[in-house]
Structure 1
Amino acid sequence: MSIRLRLTLWYSSILAVTLLFFGIALYTFFSYKLQTDLRNELIVQAQEVNKEIKGYGFFFSLPNLREFKSAGIYMQSISIQGQVKRSSNLNSNLPYSEESINKVLHGGVSFEKIRVNQEFNMLMYYSPLLLEGSLVGVLQVATLTDDVDHFLQNIRLILISVGLLTILFAASAGWFLSRKALKPIENVIDAANTVEKSADLNKRIDYTGPMDEIGRLTDTINGMLARIQGMYSELDDAYRAQRRFVSDASHELRTPLTTIRGNVDLLEKIWNTAALKAGDESGTKQIQESSVELSKEAMHDIASEAERMSRLVNDMLSLARADAGFTMNKEPIELRSLVDEVIRRAQFLPRSTEWQTGDIDVLNMAYVRGNKDYLQQLLFILIENAFKYTEQGSVKLDALHARGQFGIRISDTGIGMDKDEIPHIFERFYRADPSRGKKAGTGLGLSIAKWIIDQHDGSIEVKTRKEEGTTFTVWLPELHSLSSPD
């Protein structure tokens, strides 16, 4: 059963019970009031008759009813001797019950409803008939109740008809209003069904009504859908990145493994050949020297590829820590000494270009909060990239200070990049162009650099021009509360 139907039934039932109690109370009031008025009128008429009765002894006569303005009132007296006298407006004697007569003779009064000739309903009042204080008989005062009965019957019909029509109208109006009020909930259901069937998280619930409970519910669900859409997009992007990462990592690992395996097979052949020739005196010295040279080359290739695999595994481990939410330990660091150490060690890196140091005096007495090892790793990643993609010209390091931040700038005169490739260079295994793919490397360095700078609440600024060079500027927030070492 739907909520709309339950709501309609609930308030229709409440309205029906309310109308029922109201109708019963109203009908009871009218019935009691009319019956009481009739009885009071009969009592008053009986009292007037007793005041105006005439006669002596057991002989008496009833007064003229017109004198009492009693149209519709009928009277009949029954003497103690059993004689019956009736008013002039009666064509025949009124019926009576012996029980009521005896009750009056014993000092009481009685009311009785009777039906005359199967046509008329009457209310009859039995009271003592007194003449000069003596009981001479019983007085019956009666009146027709058909008008009252018809009126009460009409009241019942009106109350029932009006009640049923009111309930029907209220149920119809309630059904319409509940449908209108619950329309946003139907929209919520439709939107949820659309999302479930088509996975369309762009679907939103249209609502133009007031900001009541349903309005707030609609806003909450729309916000929830937006948040789910964002999370779904992030998860989808992360899943695609993960698949690409696994694919690229597998490709990167397969190359050195293939090289190592090939060289191992070559060594086995060389050693097997050397073993076969060991007992043959006809073997020449030239063959032995050739085997030694081939073995050295194979061992060199194996060592080189193993080192490459080691770097790749270390880089992947660093990124795995980053993905796992690893938080590095940070402390106040004197930036000048850190940069001096990087400059000294950078000159020993493999390179085919000039290594220059610019003005770094701005770093004197400069402190940042960070991790020394990771910051050095960040700078070496950028310097090694500059050496790698600069075949001629120079690579230069200098420093800046602006807006409460220190900048360490590393610029080269290498192959550069297109500007539209800059947003992607920090993605894992991304190579800006085919020429970069020819250079040795894991393709993870800039991803690690991005993670390190994010951990230090800093940023990396990139400026590049194709075939002219690239400039990376590492910005680190200045530590104001410390001007000298502890």
Structure 2
Amino acid sequence: MSIRLRLTLWYSSILAVTLLVFGIALYTFFSYKMNTDLRNELVIQAQEVNKGIRGYGVFFTLPDLREFKSAGIYLQSISIQGQIKRSTNLRSNLPYSEAAIALVLKGEDAFETIKVNQESNLLMYYSPLVLEGSLVGVLQVATTLDDMEQFLHNLWLVLIVIGLLTIFLAASAGWFLSRKALQPIENVIEAAGAVEKSADLSKRIDYDGPLDEIGRLTDTINGMLSRIEAMYTELDEAYRAQRRFVSDASHELRTPLTTIRGNVDLLEKVWKSTALQSGYENDSGGRLIQEGNVELSLEAMHDIASEAERMSRLVNDLLSLARADAGFAMNKEPVEMKPLVEEVLRRAQFLPRNAEWAAGDLGVLEGVQINGNKDYLQQLLFILIENAFKYTEQGHVTLDALQAGGQIGLRVSDTGIGMDKDEIPYIFERFYRADPSRGKKAGTGLGLSIAKWIIDAHGGSIEVKTRKDEGTTFTVWLPILGSLSYPG
């Protein structure tokens, strides 16, 4: 619920309660006032009748009501002997209450409301009838309540209509005024939304109103945006410099490493040839070969070549990640998945490994195409397969495929050392190495980071299932060409 609606409901509710209390008070006042006036009028009429009564002993006559100018007043007397006399404006006797009669005969007066038909009520006043100082009967003075009840009914209707109309007009005016009052806040929200959508921190909120709470809020947000823009600019420049450094360093290191590896391979071949010609053999202890005054060690040359190769892999990985950080957009085209996976299966059998290598069911790949980059997809699979070989000393590693929800899944499973489930959220971070048992294996800790980048670039996802000392399964889901759904 918006602030505008809450404000409108609040003051509309307050106004409604105020009008309700005022209406009830006004209705109660008029009801009490009119009822009191009628009672006073009946008492006065009774007193006038007592003054104008004529007769002797128990015989008396009632005066003409026109003498009192009270056409709406009805009179009736009941003598002690039970004789009833009524005024000329009555067609029939007035009803009466035995309890009220008994009360008057004791010297007291009483009021009573009597319903004479379905639509009319009478207010009745009982008064002692005294002639020459003696109680000769009971005097009933009555009047109808129709006029008073009709007036109160109309008053109640008028109060309801006026109250509802007032609440409606007040709510409409309040809705309009609250919208006008809260418009600067709407401007703040729209400006903030524009900054969020466009990521343009140079935008500011326009405000030309008074320096009230909203004005100060606008100034505060604009100041905050300025500071965020400055900090973001500094961070972005530092990040770009870092990306440039990594990219440039990777490019620069590739050339000397390639040269080192090439020369080491050449020297190793030359020295092996020289050793054979001189009658020397290379044993596992790294036996020395002497030619002139130079002592060469084949074991040392192997170490240099191995480290150079490892550095080359690291440089290539860093270069791939630098491209990813720089927003590199790989070229994509429709790729047949079955030939791609079969090529990976063929080449993977030549990788260094101790585990058995086997292919699972690949039938679902028949005729399946995805929009992707063939080289990067092969690199993705080789990263997962090499990891499986690395951490599986015995057992087997398999690659199979499955399909679900418009996506194709490539699953690499091993029976290796596995990992703790708590490590799964971190394995795609750069340079992350799991527990010490995995740290004993050679590697840069960048392979899975590169794999995750390739998967994200293809709009896919990856699932990891693992159990300590039992193995790990990586399942890569890629959308089939023309489908953007995800597995359920």
- Tell me by how many angstroms 1:116 deviates: 4.4
1:238-292 deviations in Å (ceiling 9; x for gaps)? 211111122333445556656766776787688778768879xxxxxxxxx9999
SS of the aligned residue for 1:114 comes to strand
Deviations 1:133-166 (A, max 9, x none): 3221111111232221221111101100001101
Q: Secondary structure at the match of 2:96?
A: coil
Q: Is residue 176 of structure 2 the alignment partner of residue 176 of structure 1?
A: yes
- The answer to whether the aligner puts 1:163 opposite 2:163 as a matched pair is yes
Q: Deviations over 1:207-259 (max 9, x none)?
A: 33333333322332233233322222222222111111223334455566567
Question: 1:96 offset after TM fit, Å?
Answer: 2.0
Q: What is the match of residue 129 of structure 1?
A: 129
**Secondary structure of 1:90's aligned partner:** coil
Structure 1 pair 158–108 and aligned structure 2 pair: CA distance change class (3 A): same
Instruction: Give CA-to-partner distance per residue, 1:48-107, whole Å, 9 cap, x none.
Output: 322333333212223343444434322111111111222333343322232322222233
Superposition map of 1:13-412 within 5 A:
13-116=13-116, 120-253=120-253
SS in 2 for 1:182: helix
Partners of 1:109 and 1:221 in 2: CA distance: 79
Q: What is the SS of the residue equivalent to 1:137? A: strand
Aligned equivalent of 2:326: none
Contact 1:46 1:127 in 2 (8 A): yes
**Please, which moves more after superposition, 149-158 or 215-224?**
215-224
* Contact 1:128/1:139 (<8 A) preserved: yes
Amino acid at match of 1:108: E
| 1:268-325 deviation digits (Å, cap 9, x = unpaired) | 688778768879xxxxxxxxx9999xxxxxxxxxxxxxxxxxxxxxxxxxxxxxxxxx
Query: In structure 1, what is the equivalent of residue 352 of structure 2?
Result: none
Structure 1 contact 270–291 (Cα < 8 Å) conserved: no
For 2:215 and 2:133, the matched residues in 1 are separated by 84
- Which stretch shows the higher mean deviation, 39-48 or 22-31? 39-48
Q: Secondary structure at the match of 1:20?
A: helix
SS of the equivalent of 1:92 reads coil
Mapped to 2, the partners of 1:40 and 1:65 lie a distance apart of: 17
Residue 109 of structure 1 deviates from its aligned partner by: 2.2
CA–CA distance in structure 1, aligned partners of residues 180 and 277 of structure 2 = 99
- Residue 296 of structure 1 corresponds to none
Within 1, Cα distance between the matches of 2:245 and 2:274?
43
For residues 392-471 of structure 1, the aligned pairs below 5 Å read none
**Secondary structure at the residue paired with 2:206?**
coil
Check conservation: 1:78, 1:137, Cα contact below 8 A.
Answer: yes
Partner of 2:420: none
Task: Provide Cα deviations, 1:443-473, integer angstroms capped at 9, x if missing partner.
Answer: xxxxxxxxxxxxxxxxxxxxxxxxxxxxxxx
Distance in 1, matches of 2:271 and 2:120, equals 139
Q: Pick which of 254-263 and 150-159 moved more.
A: 254-263
Distance 1:102 1:277, change over 3 A: same
**Partner in structure 2 of residue 395 of structure 1:** none
Distance across 2 between alignment mates of 1:203 and 1:134: 102
In structure 2, list runs of 5 or more residues that go unmatched.
Answer: 280-290, 295-488
Residues 359-412 of structure 1 show CA distances to partners (whole Å, capped at 9, x for unaligned) of xxxxxxxxxxxxxxxxxxxxxxxxxxxxxxxxxxxxxxxxxxxxxxxxxxxxxx
CA RMSD of aligned residues (A): 3.8
Deviation of residue 23 (structure 1)? Answer: 0.7
Deviation string 1:88-133 (CA, Å, 9 cap, x unpaired) is 3334332223232222223332222234466644311111112233
**Deviations along 1:175-206, whole A, 9 cap, x unmatched?**
22222223333333333333333323333333
- Residue 12 of structure 2 is matched in structure 1 by 12
Whether contact under 8 Å (1:101, 1:126) holds in the other structure is yes
For 1:171, the aligned partner's letter is: A
Residue 29 of structure 1 deviates from its aligned partner by 0.6
Describe the shift of the 1:46–1:226 C-alpha distance in structure 2 as closer, same or farther (beyond 3 A): same
Q: Deviations over 1:327-349 (max 9, x none)?
A: xxxxxxxxxxxxxxxxxxxxxxx
Distance 1:10 1:172 in 2: 13
State the secondary structure of the residue aligned to 2:202.
Answer: coil
Q: 2: CA distance between counterparts of 1:240 and 1:117?
A: 97
Max Rg structure: 1
Q: CA deviation at 1:168?
A: 1.1
Counterpart Cα distance in 1 of 2:109 and 2:73? 18
Q: CA deviation at 1:173?
A: 1.6
Distance 1:48 1:210 in 2: 74
In 1, the alpha carbon distance for the partners of 2:143 and 2:62 equals: 17
AA paired with 1:172? S
How many pairs were matched up?
291
Offset of 1:21 from its aligned partner?
1.4
Contact 1:65 1:87 in 2 (8 A): yes
Distance in 1 (alpha carbons) for counterparts of 2:6 and 2:98 = 60
- The letter for the 1-side match of 2:137 is G
Report the Cα offset of residue 5 of structure 1: 2.5
Corresponding residue for residue 460 of structure 1:
none
Greater Cα shift, 55-64 or 256-265: 256-265
2:395 aligned residue = none
Structure 1, gaps ≥5 residues long? 280-288, 293-486
CA distance in 2, matches of 1:251, 1:95: 119
